[in-house]
């Protein structure tokens, strides 16, 4: 068998960054490179799998346990975040990590420092994979992909392992909130599923943010600066004023736990016109709706001050909190807890400060909590993952399968 590190390194070598500006499905054709690779690998193992036009790989391992047990799915996404480059990733492998700072050798002076990332100390003595400081790593979610593929390979090479029907799914565009827009739950055929898309070892999540994106457009008026008095409307400055109306304490860097936030993610503009992109998040539905109302009130304030039509906003819903759909099937959480404990992993049940494909899938009739994939500091150059966490995650998948087959 190819070990999980080898799989992971092969998968992160493929650039699969999704594109929020694209209307296609998948949003970037380059995601098909990895999707085709995975589809071919599954079929080469003897697992019947298909890749459809929308970028979904679905595979099935038939039951061999002779019992009537539910079909269980395991899902991961292949795309990486638009927030940082996913091209020409050059991973660093630190074996027997000594517990100190880790230089990211692609950028002089850049390092993963214990003073800034104290969680590194938990992995002393382990093998850690980092970036070289010039790109993200892609553990979100190619670690989940590698863990599922390792599970599949193990099962196909160990026919004595008893299991029910297993469904495998790989999706595109999760990072831009469109991962399962055209996912056919009935065709997938699982009764329950798990996304392997969480963070540090032990994480188990069945609550997530309610989420929306917002694009604020400011229409300014450019006048020669020598003659601008009383005439110019500087879209950049008005946009900055709009942003200042949002509560400072409700930014991601000041929130945790169940706290929601407003997060500005992008700005493009000139004096004549400017666009500001935001994401809006809250676990509580009422507070989520109030956050959207706050954006509209800020638009109204700007228009009242500078003139109707100067500011406008488009708010797009992305996903809802999955708790409502998963909690009635709490036995799938109990099985995940036991599966972790069987591997000596302490479950950490807490809300996701983000979202997964599982959120939308849960509302599409497929209860789908989220399990750790093992990585840290997703979406940026400080991303890292301990190999041992990936190994444990793959074993947890096998344990869940065994528990359902009992």
Q: What is the pLDDT along the chain (406 residues), one digit of tens a residue?
A: 789 999 999 999 999 999 998 999 999 999 999 999 999 999 999 999 999 999 999 999 999 999 999 999 999 999 999 999 999 999 999 999 999 999 999 999 999 999 999 999 999 999 999 999 999 999 999 999 999 999 999 999 999 999 999 999 999 999 988 889 999 999 999 999 999 999 999 999 999 999 999 999 999 999 999 999 999 999 999 999 999 999 999 999 999 999 999 999 999 999 999 999 999 999 999 999 999 999 999 999 999 999 999 999 999 988 899 999 999 999 999 999 999 999 999 999 998 887 778 989 999 999 999 999 999 999 999 999 999 999 999 999 999 999 999 9
Closest CA to 263 of 287, 291, 286: 291
Asked if residues 205 and 394 have their Cβ atoms less than 8 Å apart, the reply is: no
Residues of the chain with CATH 3.40.630.10: 4-208+321-405
CA 307 to chain centre: 40
Q: For residue 344, how many other CB atoms are within 10 A of its CB? A: 8
Say if domain 210-319 classifies as CATH 3.30.930.10: no
384-400 CB burial, b ≥16 within 10 A, e <16: bbbbbbbbbbbbbbbbb
Q: What is the CATH number of domain 4-208+321-405?
A: 3.40.630.10
Judge contact between 311 and 299, C-beta under 8 A. Answer: yes
Closest CA to 147 of 374, 402, 401, 403: 374
How far apart are alpha carbons 298 and 291 in whole angstroms?
11
Alpha-carbon distance 14 to 37, whole Å? 10
Q: How many helices (H) and strands (E) does the chain have?
A: 10, 17
- The tokens describing 99, both together, are 């517990």
**H-helix or E-strand containing 320?**
none
* pTM of the model as a whole: 0.86
Which tokens belong to 263? 């997060």
Distance CA 217, CA 267 (A): 10
> Which pLDDT does position 353 carry in this prediction?
86
Residue 382 parent element (H or E): none
Which DSSP helix (H) or strand (E) runs through 162? Answer: none
Cα-based angle 53, 148, 40 (whole degrees, multiple of 5): 45
Q: What is the 3-state secondary structure (H, E, C) of 327-350?
A: HHHCHHHHHHHHHHHCCCCCCEEC
Q: So what's the pLDDT on residue 142? A: 98
Across the strands, what pairs with 60?
48, 167
Q: State the pLDDT at residue 354.
A: 79
Would you tell me how many other CB atoms lie within 10 Å of the CB of residue 165?
21
Distances (CA, A) of 187 to 25, 46, 183: 18, 19, 9
Question: Cα–Cα distance between 109 and 401 in angstroms, integer?
Answer: 45
Please say whether the beta carbons of 206 and 303 come within 8 A: no
CA pair distance 284, 249, nearest whole angstrom: 17
Neighbours of 50 (CB within 10 A): 13
Q: Are 102 and 94 in contact (CB under 8 A)?
A: yes
Q: Where, residue-wise, is CATH 3.30.70.360 in the chain?
A: 210-319
Catalytic residues: 79, 174
Decide: 27 and 173 in contact? Cβ < 8 Å: yes
């Amino acid at each position: 068998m190819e070990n999980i590190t080898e799989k992971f390194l092969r998968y992160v070598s493929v650039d699969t960054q999704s594109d929020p500006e694209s209307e296609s499905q998948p949003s970037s054709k380059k995601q098909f490179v990895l999707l085709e690779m995975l589809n071919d690998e599954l079929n080469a193992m003897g697992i019947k799998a298909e890749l459809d036009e929308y970028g979904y790989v679905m595979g099935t391992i038939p039951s061999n346990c002779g019992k009537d047990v539910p079909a269980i799915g395991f899902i991961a996404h292949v795309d990486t975040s638009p927030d940082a480059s996913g091209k020409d990733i050059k991973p660093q492998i630190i074996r027997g990590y000594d517990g100190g700072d880790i230089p990211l050798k692609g950028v002089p002076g850049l390092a993963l420092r214990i003073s800034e990332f104290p969680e590194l100390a938990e992995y002393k003595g382990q093998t850690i994979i980092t970036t070289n400081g010039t790109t993200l790593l892609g553990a979100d979610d190619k670690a989940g992909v590698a863990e599922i593929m390792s599970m599949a390979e193990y099962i196909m090479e160990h026919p004595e392992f008893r299991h029910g029907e297993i469904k495998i799914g790989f999706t595109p565009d999760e990072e831009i909130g469109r991962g399962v827009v055209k996912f056919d739950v009935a065709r997938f055929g699982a009764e329950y599923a798990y996304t392997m898309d969480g963070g540090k070892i032990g994480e188990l999540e069945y609550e997530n943010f309610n989420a929306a994106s917002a694009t604020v457009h400011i229409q300014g008026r450019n006048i020669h600066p020598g003659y601008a008095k009383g005439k110019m409307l500087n879209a950049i400055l008005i946009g900055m004023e709009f942003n200042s109306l949002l509560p400072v304490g409700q930014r991601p860097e000041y929130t945790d736990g169940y706290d929601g936030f407003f997060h500005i993610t992008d700005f493009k503009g000139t004096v004549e016109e400017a666009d500001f992109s935001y994401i809006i998040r809250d676990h509580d539905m009422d507070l989520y709706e109030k956050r959207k109302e706050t954006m509209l009130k800020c638009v109204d304030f700007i228009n009242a001050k500078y003139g109707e039509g100067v500011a406008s906003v488009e708010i797009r819903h992305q996903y809802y909190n999955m708790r409502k759909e998963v909690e009635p099937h709490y036995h799938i959480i109990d099985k995940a807890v036991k599966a972790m404990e069987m591997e000596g992993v302490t479950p950490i049940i807490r809300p996701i400060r983000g979202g997964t494909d599982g959120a939308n899938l849960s509302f599409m009739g497929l209860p789908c909590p989220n399990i750790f994939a093992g990585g840290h500091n997703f979406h940026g150059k400080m991303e890292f993952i301990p190999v041992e966490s990936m190994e444990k995650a793959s074993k947890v998948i096998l344990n869940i399968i065994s528990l359902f087959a009992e």
